[in-house]
């Protein structure tokens, strides 16, 4: 990459990760926005708290990319809510992203366990 | 707008849905918290805190929506705002729209004519391959002299063309219907229609390979004739009609709107096409094998892939070959050449220059209109300077403000454009009728997509052009300065005032160009009306008839002048007895001054006795046959010798009268009287010149007469006859009366085309009158717009300087001082504009010097008058604001 281009920005990286996390959360079936937040928090043992200010733009972005779609459904207390679900294209993306994520984490893990120079 | 509306509605719906969804999110979070044991109030507050700024979340989420919708939304905002601003200033909007509507309307109308005549290709397949073949004899200064059958065959064998068809236009008498009728007839080879690539709407047409050397007795008729004379009879094919007593079988009807591609309107409106081989009877054996010209010309289709330059090169080579092979037919002196002309140039040739000229003129009007609207917009920008400054101070990006202003201008121009197009569509019928029929393809004028695209593009460009001025002004806006000018409405900067002055100066300059051009055209036209004609058209009416010229010589009732003479004398005797008629003369068609029907303008081959300067080559001169009364009836004065008399008949020595032009040209140092010439139509006998008539403007009002030779109708027969009647009578009645008398002598003769000679004279100026009127209208429009411009600038100046004027008045200046001060500003603008305009005007007038007659392109009178007129109008534009200035109340002005 030419020096005048900034390195891959933090936000972009986070965005990509957030997209992956959202897709992963929808793997089990359609869910509304609030449910997605709860799911992610529960499945990450309360480590990941997704901000609504990031979630909803991410959902709009994913909708535009046609990897998720919306449908109308009922909430637990029987109110009409908007549900998000994975599209076939989204499923394919999730599979691809997941394997790439695994490669990345494995590579980083390998880096981390490699012999370290003496620390002064 | 509906697409935009759809975008807007979609976006509104999505926004509402998103808001619902976020609300739902909050509700659920709150419900969960309550379920976990929080009090409802804490739950609501905590949920909201956790959620963050709802509006911001919404906005950030919305930013993810696609760009097109966003741009459309912004455009929608700009448009709505623009429409609102225009509505708020209806007077301004109306003035702008009307100005643009006039400019766009006039340009579009002009463009639709140019599109139909000059731009649109001829309506045949591969029109670029079509040419007309013209033969020139450069050595004797003759162009387009016609072609011979052997030349036609040589060209056909050359491989340069896929097909060549001679064309020979004539009139014929169509008989056998309810009444005899004159029809326009174009004699063509059987391959003519195949060459053009047009099939009849009815019937199979000619066999292009028909080898008949003479007439094959087949004819194709036009849609117009089919409808007018045969009642659109669907069973017309195979019907036999009589043309000049010869029988033809109708084998086709051409489609509606088909016109013969030819130079002259009359030939374009051809009604009958007989097929002829140009190599057999009724042509004599000798004329078919002769290489001297036989028919007037030919059209051809070049072989595919040849450019006209390639084809011309190969034709030149062929011509060189032929000149060497037949030195007796093509002496080096005569310099025979064959020239290819694109067929489209033939059809539109005469009108290209005036139309392009008019399009340019109308473009100037549009420019003046644009300058005017730019001025209006600038004036408004001045009053809106504060608004712009406030919006900038509040964070409106200059780019957004500029886009906003540009949108306003373009809305204005598009509205103007739409109004202009509506104007053209509404007035199209009237406008088309104003166009003289010398303009070809007038029927093809349509407001098609091309024209609409032109109008739309022109309005966009105009909008962008006049919109630029206020837009650039926003960029240079000094926010602080404007905001500091508390309460004062005006905020125009020095820059802006300079721009406005420059615009007005430009307007004045362009107007002067148009005005002086119009002035020169008017003077030139006026001069032509005043020119001594050399004949007197007053109380003279021309009615035409035509003697048949059958292919079968035995059918010809009038084969010799001697056979025709009793007919002529009988007709004259009968017509002289009509009430109101005090003199009658007959002549051939070419004897009608200023109206030479194409087929009558046959060039005569004349040999002068003892003249060696031209060798064996005869001269080509225009000539006509007339009865003795002709010169007297038309008031043409004889300068030498005698006119014809009743005894100059077929059995007497042949005599001729020539015009001074001919005498000057061929006997410059000698008396032409008594000299002898040979006129081609008579085989052997010498013709003696017995009289010389004064030059008359019989060819064109604009030019001195070409050499012309008159012979006696009793000695040389003429088939196309013009009957000249002197007296006072009603024109419709006289045509009817003449028809009765002529048909009492021969019931098979058509009588048609009654015209007052004075109308013929003014008709000959029709294209000039058309251009002159249009340019004059354009010039007056520009003048009016320029006056408006001056008015706008000066009144703006007055209102800006109210304070100063009040001060001056308070300090003792009187009204006339203030008046002078204001007027001086206006005069300065007018003079600066006029100075620039004069340079442009002189350039333009020299470029069009070829159309000016009797007036110099730098005619001082015209330029002075135009400048004076412009200055006076500009001063009138200043007067109103100046009056306002002297009425300023010092107390009010100073306290405000």
Query: Rounded mean pLDDT of B427-443?
Result: 80
What confidence tier does B395 reach under pLDDT thresholds 50, 70, 90? low
β partners of residue B462: none
Write down the pLDDT at residue B401: 76
The radius of gyration computed from the CA coordinates of chain B, to the nearest angstrom, equals 38
Contact assignment for B24 to A57 by CB distance below 8 Å: no
Write down the pLDDT at residue B197: 93
CB contact A32 to B (< 8 Å):
yes
Q: Is the pLDDT of residue B194 over 90?
A: yes
The answer to whether B597 and B589 have CB atoms below 8 angstroms apart is yes
Instruction: Report CA-CA distances (Å) from B57 to B7, B10, B23, B790, B872.
Output: 22, 20, 12, 55, 66
CB contact A77 to B (< 8 Å):
yes
Contact assignment for A53 to B57 by CB distance below 8 Å: yes
Report which of residues B626 and B794 the model is more confident about: B626
Report which of residues A48 and B361 the model is more confident about: B361
> DSSP code of B529?
H
Write down the pLDDT at residue B633: 94
Q: How many angstroms away from the CA of B24 is the closest CA of chain A?
A: 7
What confidence tier does B475 reach under pLDDT thresholds 50, 70, 90? low
**Quick one: which of B768, B778, B652 has its CA closest to B700?**
B768
Total beta-carbon pairs less than 8 A apart between chain A and chain B: 55
CB contact A57 to B (< 8 Å):
yes
- DSSP assignment of B95-128: HHHHHHHHHHHHHHHHHHHHIIIIISPPSSSSGG
B524 contacts: CB under 8 Å, gap ≥ 6: B768, B851, B852, B853, B854, B855
Chain A hits for B62, CB-CB cut-off 8 Å, are 60
Task: Label the pairing between strands A68-74 and A80-86.
Answer: antiparallel
Distance from CA of residue B444 to its chain's centroid?
A: 13
Report which of residues B309 and B140 the model is more confident about: B309
Contact assignment for A60 to B62 by CB distance below 8 Å: yes
Q: Is the pLDDT of residue B317 over 90?
A: yes
CA separation for the pair B518, B509 (Å, rounded): 14
Q: Is the pLDDT of residue A109 over 50?
A: yes
Mean pLDDT check: name the lowest of A108-112, B56-60, B171-175, B649-653. Answer: B56-60
CB atoms within 10 A of CB B355: 19
CA separation for the pair B606, B612 (Å, rounded): 13
Report which of residues A19 and B152 the model is more confident about: B152
The answer to whether B234 and B287 have CB atoms below 8 angstroms apart is no
Write down the pLDDT at residue A13: 46
Write down the pLDDT at residue B308: 92
Residue that has been written with the tokens 């929506």 in this structure: B65
Beta strands in B593-637 (DSSP E): 603-608, 619-626
Distance from CA of residue B236 to its chain's centroid?
A: 37
Q: Is the pLDDT of residue B853 over 70?
A: yes
Query: Rounded mean pLDDT of B789-800?
Result: 80
Q: Name which of B31, B52, B66 is nearest A53 (Cβ-Cβ).
A: B52
Mean pLDDT check: name the lowest of B500-514, B727-741, B846-860. Answer: B846-860
Write down the pLDDT at residue B478: 66
Query: Rounded mean pLDDT of B259-276?
Result: 89
Q: Name which of B17, B52, B58 is nearest A51 (Cβ-Cβ).
A: B52
Write down the pLDDT at residue B139: 77
**Quick one: which of A16, A94, A99, A29 has its CA closest to A61?**
A16
CA separation for the pair B749, A41 (Å, rounded): 109
B2-53 pLDDT, tens per residue?
A: 565 676 777 778 788 888 888 888 888 888 888 888 888 888 888 888 887 7
CA angle B210, B213, B219 (to 5 degrees): 60
Mean pLDDT check: name the lowest of B164-178, B305-319, B487-501, B712-726. Answer: B487-501
CA separation for the pair B619, B601 (Å, rounded): 15
Write down the pLDDT at residue B477: 65
Q: Is the pLDDT of residue B411 over 90?
A: no
Q: How many angstroms away from the CA of A93 is the closest CA of chain B?
A: 20
Rounded to the nearest 5°, which phi and psi values hold at B658?
-120, 165
Mean pLDDT for chain B? 84
Write down the pLDDT at residue A8: 36
Contact assignment for A53 to B17 by CB distance below 8 Å: no
- Copy the structure tokens of residue B504: 């007005």
What confidence tier does B166 reach under pLDDT thresholds 50, 70, 90? very high
Contact assignment for A52 to B52 by CB distance below 8 Å: yes
CA separation for the pair A70, B470 (Å, rounded): 48
Q: Is the pLDDT of residue A90 over 60?
A: yes
Greatest mean pLDDT among B135-139, B195-199, B475-479, B589-593 lies in B195-199
CA separation for the pair B823, B190 (Å, rounded): 75
- Copy the structure tokens of residue B354: 């005036």
Chain A hits for B51, CB-CB cut-off 8 Å, are 52
Residue that has been written with the tokens 């005797």 in this structure: B573
Mean pLDDT check: name the lowest of B53-62, B218-227, B452-461, B499-508. Answer: B53-62
- DSSP assignment of B332-360: GGG-EEEEEEEHHHHHHHHHHHHHHHHHH
Write down the pLDDT at residue B66: 58
What confidence tier does B408 reach under pLDDT thresholds 50, 70, 90? confident
Asked whether the ipTM of the predicted complex exceeds the cut of 0.95, the reply is no
The answer to whether B169 and B185 have CB atoms below 8 angstroms apart is yes
Q: How many angstroms away from the CA of B79 is the closest CA of chain A?
A: 28
Q: Is the pLDDT of residue A11 over 60?
A: no
Q: Is the pLDDT of residue B738 over 70?
A: yes
B527-541 pLDDT, tens per residue?
A: 888 888 889 999 999
The answer to whether B180 and B172 have CB atoms below 8 angstroms apart is no
Instruction: Report CA-CA distances (Å) from B420 to A1, B32, B789.
Output: 57, 66, 21
Contact assignment for A60 to B22 by CB distance below 8 Å: no
Chain B hits for A33, CB-CB cut-off 8 Å, are 21-22, 24-25
**Would you put residue B635 in left (φ > 0), alpha (ψ -120 to 50) or beta?**
left
Contact assignment for A60 to B65 by CB distance below 8 Å: yes
**Percent residues over pLDDT 90 in chain B:** 23
CA separation for the pair B877, B872 (Å, rounded): 9
Contact assignment for A56 to B57 by CB distance below 8 Å: yes
What confidence tier does B597 reach under pLDDT thresholds 50, 70, 90? low
Residues 60-119 of B with CB under 8 A from A: 60-66
Query: Rounded mean pLDDT of A53-58?
Result: 83
Report which of residues B497 and B280 the model is more confident about: B280
Query: Rounded mean pLDDT of B462-469?
Result: 80
Q: Is the pLDDT of residue B345 over 70?
A: yes
The answer to whether B96 and B416 have CB atoms below 8 angstroms apart is yes
Query: Rounded mean pLDDT of B711-725?
Result: 89
Mean pLDDT check: name the lowest of B89-98, B483-492, B689-698, B865-874. Answer: B483-492
Q: How many angstroms away from the CA of A101 is the closest CA of chain B?
A: 25
Residue that has been written with the tokens 């006049």 in this structure: B466
Write down the pLDDT at residue B700: 80
Q: Name which of B53, B58, B66 is nearest A64 (Cβ-Cβ).
A: B66
**Would you put residue B392 in left (φ > 0), alpha (ψ -120 to 50) or beta?**
alpha
**Would you put residue B135 in left (φ > 0), alpha (ψ -120 to 50) or beta?**
beta
**Quick one: which of B526, B439, B511 has its CA closest to B852?**
B526
What confidence tier does B199 reach under pLDDT thresholds 50, 70, 90? very high
Distance from CA of residue B498 to its chain's centroid?
A: 39
Q: How many angstroms away from the CA of B19 is the closest CA of chain A?
A: 11
Q: Is the pLDDT of residue B182 over 50?
A: yes
What confidence tier does B65 reach under pLDDT thresholds 50, 70, 90? low
CB atoms within 10 A of CB B159: 11
The answer to whether B794 and B877 have CB atoms below 8 angstroms apart is yes
Contact assignment for A52 to B57 by CB distance below 8 Å: yes
Contact assignment for B64 to A53 by CB distance below 8 Å: no
CA separation for the pair B122, B108 (Å, rounded): 21
- Copy the structure tokens of residue B51: 């959620």
Q: State which residue of chain B sits closest to A57, comparing Cα positions.
A: B61
Query: Rounded mean pLDDT of B265-272?
Result: 88
Q: Is the pLDDT of residue B599 over 70?
A: no
A26-46 pLDDT, tens per residue?
A: 988 888 888 898 888 888 887
Distance from CA of residue B156 to its chain's centroid?
A: 36
Q: How many angstroms away from the CA of B15 is the closest CA of chain A?
A: 12
The answer to whether B858 and B843 have CB atoms below 8 angstroms apart is no
CA separation for the pair B479, B389 (Å, rounded): 5
The answer to whether B800 and B387 have CB atoms below 8 angstroms apart is no
């Amino acid at each position: 990459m030419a020096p005048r281009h900034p390195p891959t920005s933090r936000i972009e990286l986070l965005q990509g990760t957030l997209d992956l996390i959202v897709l992963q959360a929808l793997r089990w079936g359609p869910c509304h926005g609030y449910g997605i937040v709860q799911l992610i928090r529960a499945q990450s043992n309360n480590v990941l708290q997704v901000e609504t200010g990031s979630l909803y733009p991410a959902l709009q972005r994913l909708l535009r990319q046609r990897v998720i779609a919306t449908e109308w459904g009922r909430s637990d207390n029987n109110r009409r809510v908007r549900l998000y679900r994975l599209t076939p294209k989204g499923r394919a993306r999730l599979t691809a992203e997941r394997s790439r994520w695994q490669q990345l984490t494995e590579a980083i893990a390998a880096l981390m366990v490699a012999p370290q120079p003496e620390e002064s | 707008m509906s697409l935009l509306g759809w975008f807007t509605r979609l976006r509104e719906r999505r926004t509402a849905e998103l808001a619902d969804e976020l609300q739902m999110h909050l509700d659920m979070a709150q419900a969960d918290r309550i379920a976990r044991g929080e009090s409802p109030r804490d739950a609501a507050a905590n949920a909201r805190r956790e959620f963050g700024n709802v509006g911001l979340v919404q906005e950030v989420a919305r930013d993810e929506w696609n760009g097109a919708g966003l741009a459309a939304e912004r455009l929608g905002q700009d448009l709505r705002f623009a429409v609102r601003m225009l509505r708020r200033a209806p007077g301004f909007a109306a003035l702008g729209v009307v100005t643009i509507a006039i400019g766009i309307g006039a340009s579009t109308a002009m463009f639709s004519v140019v599109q139909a005549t000059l731009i649109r290709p001829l309506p045949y397949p591969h029109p670029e391959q079509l040419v007309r073949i013209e033969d020139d004899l450069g050595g004797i200064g003759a162009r387009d002299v016609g072609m011979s059958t052997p030349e036609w065959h040589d060209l056909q064998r050359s491989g340069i063309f896929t097909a060549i068809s001679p064309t020979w236009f004539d009139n014929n008498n169509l008989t056998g219907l309810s009444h005899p009728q004159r029809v326009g007839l174009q004699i063509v080879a059987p391959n003519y229609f195949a060459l053009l690539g047009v099939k009849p709407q009815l019937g199979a047409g000619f066999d292009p390979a028909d080898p008949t050397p003479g007439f094959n007795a087949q004819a194709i008729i036009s849609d117009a004739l089919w409808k007018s004379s045969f009642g659109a009879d669907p069973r017309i094919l195979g019907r036999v009609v009589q043309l000049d007593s010869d029988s033809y079988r109708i084998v086709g009807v051409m489609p509606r709107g088909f016109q013969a591609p030819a130079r002259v309107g009359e030939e374009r409106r051809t009604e009958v096409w007989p097929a002829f081989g140009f190599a057999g009877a009724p042509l004599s054996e000798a004329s078919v094998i002769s290489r001297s010209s036989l028919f007037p010309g030919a059209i051809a289709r070049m072989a595919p892939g040849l450019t006209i330059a390639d084809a011309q090169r190969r034709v030149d080579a062929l011509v060189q070959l032929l000149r060497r092979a037949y030195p007796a037919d093509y002496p080096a002196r005569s310099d025979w050449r064959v020239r290819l002309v694109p067929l489209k140039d033939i059809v539109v040739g005469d009108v290209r220059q005036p139309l392009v000229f008019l399009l340019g003129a109308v473009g100037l009007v549009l420019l003046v209109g644009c300058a005017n609207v730019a001025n209006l917009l600038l004036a408004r920008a001045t009053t809106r300077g504060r608004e712009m400054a406030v919006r900038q101070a509040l964070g409106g990006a200059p780019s957004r403000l500029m886009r906003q202003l540009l949108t306003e201008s373009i809305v204005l121009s598009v509205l103007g454009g739409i109004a202009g197009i509506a104007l053209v569509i509404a007035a199209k019928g009237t406008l088309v009728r104003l166009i003289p029929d010398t303009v070809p393809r007038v029927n093809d004028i349509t407001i098609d997509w091309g024209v609409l695209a032109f109008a739309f593009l022109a309005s966009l460009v105009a909008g962008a052009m006049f919109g630029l001025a206020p837009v650039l002004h926003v960029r240079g806006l000094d926010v602080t300065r404007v905001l500091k000018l508390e309460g004062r409405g005006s905020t125009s900067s020095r820059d802006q005032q300079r721009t406005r002055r420059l615009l007005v100066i430009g307007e004045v300059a362009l107007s002067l160009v148009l005005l002086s051009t119009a002035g020169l055209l008017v003077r030139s036209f006026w001069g032509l009306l005043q020119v001594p004609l050399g004949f007197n058209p007053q109380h003279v009416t021309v009615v035409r008839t035509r003697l048949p010229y059958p292919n079968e010589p035995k059918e010809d009732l009038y084969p010799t002048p001697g056979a025709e003479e009793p007919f002529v004398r009988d007709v004259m005797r009968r017509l002289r007895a009509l009430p109101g008629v005090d003199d009658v003369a007959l002549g051939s068609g070419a004897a009608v001054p200023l109206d030479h029907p194409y087929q009558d303008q046959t060039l005569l081959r004349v040999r002068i006795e003892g003249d060696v300067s031209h060798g064996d080559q005869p001269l080509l001169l225009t000539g006509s046959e007339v009865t003795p009364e002709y010169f007297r009836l038309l008031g043409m004065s004889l300068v030498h010798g005698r006119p014809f008399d009743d005894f100059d008949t077929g059995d007497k020595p042949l005599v001729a009268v020539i015009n001074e032009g001919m005498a000057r040209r061929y006997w410059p140092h000698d008396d032409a009287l008594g000299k002898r010439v040979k006129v081609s139509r008579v085989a052997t006998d010498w013709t003696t010149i017995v009289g010389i008539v004064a030059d008359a403007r019989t060819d064109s009002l604009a030019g001195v007469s070409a050499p012309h030779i008159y012979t006696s109708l009793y000695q040389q027969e003429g088939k196309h006859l013009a009957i000249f009647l002197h007296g006072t009578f009603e024109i419709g009645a006289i045509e009817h009366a003449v028809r009765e008398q002529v048909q009492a002598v021969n019931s098979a003769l058509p009588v048609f085309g009654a015209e007052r000679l004075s109308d013929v004279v003014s008709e000959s100026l029709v294209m000039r009158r058309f251009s002159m009127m249009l340019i004059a209208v354009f010039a007056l429009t520009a003048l009016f717009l320029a006056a408006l411009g001056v008015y706008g600038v000066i009144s703006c100046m007055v209102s800006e300087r109210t304070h100063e004027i009040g001060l001056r008045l308070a300090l003792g200046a009187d009204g006339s001082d203030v008046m002078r001060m204001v007027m001086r500003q206006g005069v300065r603008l007018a003079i600066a504009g006029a100075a620039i305009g004069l340079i442009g005007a002189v350039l333009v007038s020299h470029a069009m010097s070829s159309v000016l007659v009797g007036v110099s392109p730098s005619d001082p009178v015209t330029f002075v008058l135009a400048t004076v007129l412009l200055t006076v109008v500009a001063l009138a534009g200043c007067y109103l604001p100046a009056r306002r200035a002297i009425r300023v109340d010092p107390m009010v002005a100073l306290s405000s």
